[in-house]
Structure 1
C-alpha cells in the first residue's frame, strides 16, 4: 500500500528560520494554480521560489537526500528529476490563507509528471491558528505533524489541503519529484 512518510526532524528550527528569511529576500507573489490560473476561493497564499534566491543550494541537497532515502525504503517510484524549484508558501490570517482539497498532479509538462510531493513545516505551530496540512491517502484524513522542521512525503496524487489560517501566519516549503507517468 502506498503511504505517507514522515520526517520528524527534516530541518532544524534555525534552518527553518533561514529558509523563511531566504524566501523573504525577494517579493512573495500571489499564489496561482496550474497554467497560471488564479482562484482565491481555491487557494490564498503568497509564494517565493527558492531558485530565484541565491544561497539556497543546501536546501535542495537536504531534500534530495531525504527523498532518495524514503523512496528506496517506502515508495520505489521511478524518479528522474526535481524539475521545479522548491516553493515557500506563506498562509496569512489577514487573507485566511488556505488551499482547498487537491492533488499535485495536473495539466502541464511538469505537473503531469509529478510523482512525489514533499512539504516541510517551517513555522512554529504556536505562531498561527488553523492552517493544518491534511492528507487523504485513503478513506481517512490524516493531519500532518506541525512541529517546526518536520516534513511529509507522499505520492503527488494524494488529496491534501491546508485549512484556513485564522491567526498569525504559517510558512511551508513544498517541492516535487518527477518521473515517467504512473502505469
Structure 2
C-alpha cells in the first residue's frame, strides 16, 4: 500500500484563489479538536467550513474525483462517504499557526470512520515560511509538496503535522473520506 500520494494540479491556481477568497469573505472560527475543545499548544488556525459557503458544490465535485482516483489506484480502502464538511484552514505567522503531531482517526462516531485524509495546498509556496505539512508513514518524515493546487492524500491513521508558520500565511483545504472501521 502507498503511504503518501501527491497529485499536482488537483486544483488550478485560479481555483485556489477562488477558495481562499471564499474563506476570506466568510467568518472563520478558531480551530477546535475532536470533542470541540481548544488546545492552542496543539493547534492554532482559523477555519471555515465549505458546506457553510454558497456556491461551493464544484469544490466537493473535485474532491470526490481526486479521492476516488487515488483510492482506486493506490489505497483501495472501503470508502462510503464524506461525513464531514471540508475545511479551509488559515495558519498565520501572527499567531504562529501550526498543528502538532496527530492522527485524524480518533474517538467519536464520525472521527472513528475517517479512513483517508486529503490536504490541498492553496497558498503559493512564496507566500509564507514554515508551515510544512509533514507526514510520518514510518520512522521517516515525508514533507508534502508545496506547489499550489497539489493534493496530498494519506491514511487517516498516519501521524502528521503542520510546522509553525513564521512569516506570512498558509491556506489549505482538508477533507476526510469515511468508511467502515479498519479490520
Measure the CA separation in 1 of the matches of 2:26 and 2:134. Answer: 29
The answer for unaligned runs of 5 or more in structure 2 is none
Q: Verify the 8 A CA contact 1:25 1:53 in the aligned structure 2.
A: no
1:38 corresponds in structure 2 to 38
Secondary structure, counterpart of 1:84 in structure 2: coil
Q: How does 1:57-72 map to 2 (within 5 A)?
A: 57-72=57-72
Moved segments of 4+, more than 2 Å: none
1:21 corresponds in structure 2 to 21
Aligned: 1:101 with 2:128: no
Q: How does 1:138-177 map to 2 (within 5 A)?
A: 138-177=138-177
- Superposed CA offset, 1:9-43 (max 9, x none): 10011100100111222111100100101110000
TM-score, normalising length from structure 1?
Answer: 0.98
Measure how far apart 1:138 and its partner are: 1.0
Measure how far apart 1:2 and its partner are: 3.8
1:123 corresponds in structure 2 to 123
Measure how far apart 1:139 and its partner are: 1.1
| Number of aligned positions between the proteins | 183
Secondary structure, counterpart of 1:146 in structure 2: coil
Secondary structure, counterpart of 2:35 in structure 1: helix
Superposed CA RMSD: 0.7
The answer for unaligned runs of 5 or more in structure 1 is none
TM-score, normalising length from structure 2?
Answer: 0.98
Q: Verify the 8 A CA contact 1:133 1:143 in the aligned structure 2.
A: yes
